[in-house]
Structure formats: C-alpha cells, structure tokens
Amino acid sequence: MIGDTITPIRTGAYVVDGRGVIVAVNAVAERLLGRPAAGLVGADAHDLLHRTAHGETLPTSQCRMRPAFLAGRPAQDGGEWFEKGDGTLLPVAWSITPYDAGTDDTCALVLFHPREAPAEAPGAPASREGALDELERLALLAETTTQLTSTLSVDEAMRRLVALVLPRLADWAVIDLISERDEVWRTKVVHVEEGVPVPRPDLEGPMARVPAESQMPLSRALRGVSSTITGPETYDRSPDSGIAVEQRRLFEATGMHSAAIAPIRGLREVLGALTLGRSERADAFTPDDLTLLEDITRRTGLALDNARLYQRQRKVAETMQRYLLPQLPRVPGLEMTSRYVPAPDASHVGGDWYDAFPLGEGDTALVIGDVSGHDLDAAAGMAQLRNVLRSYAWSSRDEPPGRVVERVDRAVLRITDVSMATLVLAVLGTDEDGRWTLRWTNAGHPPPLLVTREGVAGYLTEGGGMLLGTSTDRPRADGSTVLPPGATLVLYTDGLIEAPSHTIDDGLERLRRHAAALAHRPVGEFTDELLHRARPVDNDDDVALLAVRVGARPVHVGPRPAGG
C-alpha cells in the first residue's frame, strides 16, 4: 500500500494433487487465465493449460514442471505459456512448491504471473528445428532410464528405444547389435512417416563382421572407439568393408543428409551401435546432439546388459529343467504323454515338473508339481524335491500316497532348498477285478482332471491338503476311484488355468470343457490341442502337463500289495 493506493496482487495460484489435477485456485488465477474456478478445479493442469510457444499441446515428456513434481522438489521457470479461456496464450513465469497436505496424497502449489513476451513471438520459427533445451534433455534421459530398465526383453527394449528418439530427435533410427558370436545384425531400421514410426524390414538383416582396421564411422562405433556425426559424402568413396557397403546403401535408401552414430556399450563389451538420421529436417546434428546420443546409448547399454544376462539365465534354467524332466516309462495298457512349455517372458521358468515311474507289482507313480521361486533356484529345488519324492515313494510303495507325502513334507525343509511347493502324487494300478484304479493325494495343487472316452469330464477333488513346506503335522487324505476303459487322466500346473484376465474357477471350467470336447482324439493330439485351446493368451507362467490314457482293460492283473 502506497498512500491510499492499493497495489493489486498479480500472482495467480493453483494447487494440484498427486495426479496433477487442480483442486484449488485463487481469484487472480481466474482473472489472468480468463477461466472461472468451476472450469479449472477438477481438470488436469498440464492438459488444460500448458502450451508450446506455437500454441500446440505440450507433450508430457517436455513439461518442465513434471520432473520437479515427481521428484517432490521446488522449481521455477520464466519462459512458458498457459492457454487462456479464449484460446490465446499467456506468457508466464512460474514456481512450484510440493507440500504435504496431511493425507496420503502429495500436493503442489503453483504460483505464476505474466511476463513480457519474448522478442520471438509465439508462432515464429524456432531457432533450430528439433533442438531440445536442457530440461527437455534431462526429461528424455530420465524417461530413457525408466523405460529401458523396466523390461528384461531385448526386443521390447529396442522397441522402446526407437519410440523415445523418434520423432523427437530424428527422422530415422537404426540399431545394429553384436551377438555373443561377434556377428552383427541390423536389428531395426525405423522411419517417421506423418509422425508415426514405420519399420523398414527391407533394410534390416545380417551384416558383415566388424573390421579391425576400418576408420569408417559405424565400424569405429561398433568397436567402441568413438561416436561420430557423418553424412552420405563419407561413403561416396570406395567402401573398405562389407559394413561400409551396407551403410552406403542405407544413406541412398533413406535420403539421410546427416547422421549421428554412437556405440552401445555394456559393462564389459560393446553391444552394438545406434544411428540417428535426418532426411526431412533441414538442420544437421551438432556436437550437443552427439553428447545427448551418447548419454542415451550409455543407458541403453546397461539395459541391454541386464536383459541379455537375464536371457542367458533363463536359457540355463530352461535347459536344466528340460534335462531334469524324465523320460516317461513304457507301461503295458497305458498311453502316456507329457509337455513342458516355458513362460512367455521367462519370469517363472524353473519350478514346474512332472514325473512317472514304476513302483513294482504293476503300479505306476504319477506326479505333477510346482516349486515356488524362479529360474535356477526353482529348477534346482525341483530336482531335489523330485529325487526325495522318488526315494520315499519307492521305499514306502506299500503305503498310500498321503503317507508318502507326509514323509516328504517332513524332509523337504530339512534336506532340500525348497521353501514351498505344491504337488499331486497318484498311484495307478489294478484291483482284484482287473479294473484300473487310481489313488492320489493333493498337496495344495490344482485338482487332477479325469475325462471319459464319451466326453464326460470332472475334477478329482478328494484327497486335498496343505501345500508342502507349511510344517503341518496333520495326516494327509487320500482319494481313490476306478478309471473306466479309455479314460484320460490329466495332471497339469497352474499356468494352464491361471491368468490376470479371469478367475481360477473360470480357468478350471475352460480346461474341463475343452478336455471333454477333445476326448476322442489320440492322446498326443489331445494333449497338444488342450494346451493350444485352454492355455490363457495372457498367461505369464510356465506349464507342465502329463496325460495318461488307460486301455480297454489292464494288461497285468494281480492282487494289491498288502496295505494298499
């Protein structure tokens, strides 16, 4: 206040919640933005207000407020534009201060005031097409780290990398990767057409090996020597290697006038190279662009290292498990087949297994199980549990399955590395009347499915009990039934029925219906089709499956062992 004159406050203010939605606004903000409070509160502040100097919607990745908001730190900036209610732009300077609102949500106070419009008015061309300022570069690098480290798939990481750099930095993106055998493969060539990245598979494929003496830009990058800004003129002279031949072809096919090439380095070796090219944009790459590209490829190399290490571990676990899974015995009067399908993303490879082995006196043990854990630990635990179960089943073959599993349960925590597991142990044999009989116990596993040759399918729900590793001393129950001639017994792991998109009951019903419809098929075809039809498309687990079809009558008929 000066004399009798009141100086008006020209600072607008609004508060956003953790989602960036405006929850409160002052009267000055209403006046400056030409928007009533009712039109501001409840709206996403970024979508509603933030614009580029040209009046275009500002991409979230280029928002200067967002990094500070997500990090929970104060920030300020003096060069942005908000869109007013009438569609015109308001040049503003702003500051943001996150604070604890006393709830589970974190809010932020945004203060802003008008500023003088820059000499380069909104709508004028930018000083350099496609150039990113420092905050935009930091936001891109942060997004690169987040996107690439959140996947363990090499293919998905490369797809995300291309989406990050196109069309933000270039018109073309080319990724060359070096395999573990030192072979080079042009993995991706992608071009931006009308703002959308479009693959060019005709330019992808195998490349010649990296020459040790070549001084051409891509060869140097693939050896990890240096990054380079180059152009088609570099490849006008006679090529010194097969890689140079492909690079000249690339420039001719794409029309790139400027390219930036940087090596993708892992912790111990060079994994490949990333090339960004410009054909439609008039400006060439600069040393600043090359520095940014090197930062991107450095993050890419770490992500690729992790993905390749994970894939090697997955391959070892899968190979180990396949070698550990047994060859099925030949039993007169029985048709047996098995399948093992690894998880699509390898996130749960290693724990599922099946087993079948003779017990003597015409009996055959059938097992399906799932050890908790992932990869090598689960595969090793599965092998330990299988061996323990085989030993107890053979030494206690005169006892019911429930008694055998009780002994296994007491031993599993003491002599194996298995902390928890589920399984079904079943014994298939014959009774005094020459009929096929099945006795089983279930330790927390999905129930066996029995399908008659007439297509009547139902689950064997008797004999249920707690999973292994719970330290329970309660006796385990047994179930028993007579198998009609031509019936098929299906033992499976939960990857065949579980998925995020539906309940377990839905998965069980789906499996039952498909099994009933396939009952007339030969057992091998039955098993393959059942996997194809019943396995959920969004399944993220591996699957083990054992199918046993009994003959019209047992080949061997003998008395049951005492106590059986």
Between residues 497 and 68, the one the model is more confident about = 497
Whether residue 185 is contained in a domain is answered as yes
Going by the DSSP 8-state scheme, the letter that residue 235 receives in this structure is: G
What confidence category does residue 416 fall into, taking pLDDT thresholds of 50, 70 and 90? confident
At residue 105, the pLDDT reads 66
At residue 362, the pLDDT reads 84
Whether residue 151 is contained in a domain is answered as yes
Whether residue 302 is contained in a domain is answered as yes
CB 17 within 8 A of CB 103: no
Note whether 20 and 80 are same-domain residues: yes
Give the Å distances, CA to CA, from 379 to 225, 306, 328: 41, 21, 19
State phi, psi for 373 to the nearest 5 degrees.
Answer: 115, -175
At residue 499, the pLDDT reads 86
Task: Report the b/e string of 171-193 with b at 16+ CB within 10 A.
Answer: bbbbbbbbeeeeebebebbbbbe
Domain range holding 21?
Answer: 12-114
Sequential DSSP letters for 124-184 = SPPSSTT---HHHHHHHHHHHHHHHHT---HHHHHHHHHHHHTTTT-SEEEEEEE-TTS-E
CB 22 within 8 A of CB 16: yes
Amino acid at residue number 151: T
Note whether 292 and 331 are same-domain residues: no
At residue 147, the pLDDT reads 84
At residue 401, the pLDDT reads 96
Of 313-322, 427-436, 447-456, the range with the highest mean pLDDT is 447-456
CB 481 within 8 A of CB 415: no
pLDDT in tens, 22-70: 999 999 999 999 999 999 999 999 989 998 887 888 877 677 787 777 7
The proportion of the chain whose per-residue pLDDT surpasses 90, expressed as a percent, equals 40
Whether residue 557 is contained in a domain is answered as no
Does residue 117 register a pLDDT over 70?
A: no
Note whether 412 and 450 are same-domain residues: yes
Round to whole Å and give the CA distance between 549 and 533: 20
Going by the DSSP 8-state scheme, the letter that residue 17 receives in this structure is: -
Give all strands (DSSP E) within 284-407, no chain letters. 334-341, 352-360, 363-371
What confidence category does residue 481 fall into, taking pLDDT thresholds of 50, 70 and 90? very high
Note whether 310 and 366 are same-domain residues: no
Domain count, the chain: 3
Whether residue 475 is contained in a domain is answered as yes
Average pLDDT value for the chain: 84
Round to whole Å and give the CA distance between 263 and 242: 18
Token code pair at residue 179 = 């395999």
Does residue 119 register a pLDDT over 50?
A: no
Note whether 530 and 406 are same-domain residues: yes
State the residue for tokens 């590793």: 469
Pairing verdict, β 89-100 and 488-492 = unpaired
Pairing verdict, β 89-100 and 106-114 = antiparallel
Cis peptide before 167 (omega within 30 of 0): yes
Pairing verdict, β 436-443 and 464-465 = parallel
Identify the weakest region by mean pLDDT among 103-117, 177-191, 269-283, 285-299: 103-117
CB atoms within 10 A of CB 233: 9
Overall average pLDDT of the 509-516 stretch: 96
CB 23 within 8 A of CB 107: yes
What confidence category does residue 4 fall into, taking pLDDT thresholds of 50, 70 and 90? very low
Whether residue 38 is contained in a domain is answered as yes
First vs last Cα of the chain: how many Å apart?
101
CB atoms within 10 A of CB 215: 10
pLDDT in tens, 186-198: 999 999 888 788 9
Does residue 275 register a pLDDT over 90?
A: yes
Token code pair at residue 412 = 């599993």
At residue 127, the pLDDT reads 43
Round to whole Å and give the CA distance between 351 and 197: 40
CATH for 98: 3.30.450.20
Round to whole Å and give the CA distance between 262 and 218: 8
CB atoms within 10 A of CB 70: 13
Q: Is 5 helix (H, G, I), strand (E, B) or coil?
A: strand
Does residue 123 register a pLDDT over 60?
A: no
Round to whole Å and give the CA distance between 396 and 458: 29
Does residue 125 register a pLDDT over 50?
A: no
Note whether 84 and 168 are same-domain residues: no
Tell me the HSE value of 415 on the side-chain side, using a 13 A CA sphere: 13
CB 397 within 8 A of CB 561: yes
Note whether 47 and 151 are same-domain residues: no
Note whether 291 and 429 are same-domain residues: no
CATH for 228: 3.30.450.40
CB 69 within 8 A of CB 98: yes
Going by the DSSP 8-state scheme, the letter that residue 274 receives in this structure is: E
CB 451 within 8 A of CB 487: yes
Token code pair at residue 73 = 């730190």
Its sign, for the CA torsion 382, 388, 391, 394, is: negative
Its sign, for the CA torsion 252, 258, 263, 264, is: negative
CB 462 within 8 A of CB 475: no
Does residue 462 register a pLDDT over 60?
A: yes
Note whether 224 and 172 are same-domain residues: yes
Q: Is 412 helix (H, G, I), strand (E, B) or coil?
A: helix
* Domain final residue, candidates 51, 79, 114: 114
Does residue 21 register a pLDDT over 80?
A: yes
At residue 312, the pLDDT reads 75
Pairing verdict, β 228-230 and 258-265 = antiparallel
Round to whole Å and give the CA distance between 87 and 343: 52
Round to whole Å and give the CA distance between 393 and 356: 11
Q: What CA dihedral angle connects 40, 43, 49 and 55, to 10 degrees?
A: -120
Whether residue 321 is contained in a domain is answered as no
* Domain final residue, candidates 280, 314, 348: 314
At residue 561, the pLDDT reads 44
At residue 413, the pLDDT reads 76
Whether residue 3 is contained in a domain is answered as no
Note whether 146 and 285 are same-domain residues: yes
CATH for 370: 3.60.40.10
State phi, psi for 110 to the nearest 5 degrees.
Answer: -110, 120
* Domain final residue, candidates 285, 314, 343: 314
Note whether 514 and 546 are same-domain residues: yes
CB 271 within 8 A of CB 301: yes
What confidence category does residue 101 fall into, taking pLDDT thresholds of 50, 70 and 90? low
Note whether 373 and 476 are same-domain residues: yes
Crossing angle for the helix pair 134-149 and 154-165, nearest 10 degrees?
160
Between residues 284 and 538, the one the model is more confident about = 284
State the residue for tokens 């494929």: 205
Distance of CA 90 to the CA centre of its chain: 43
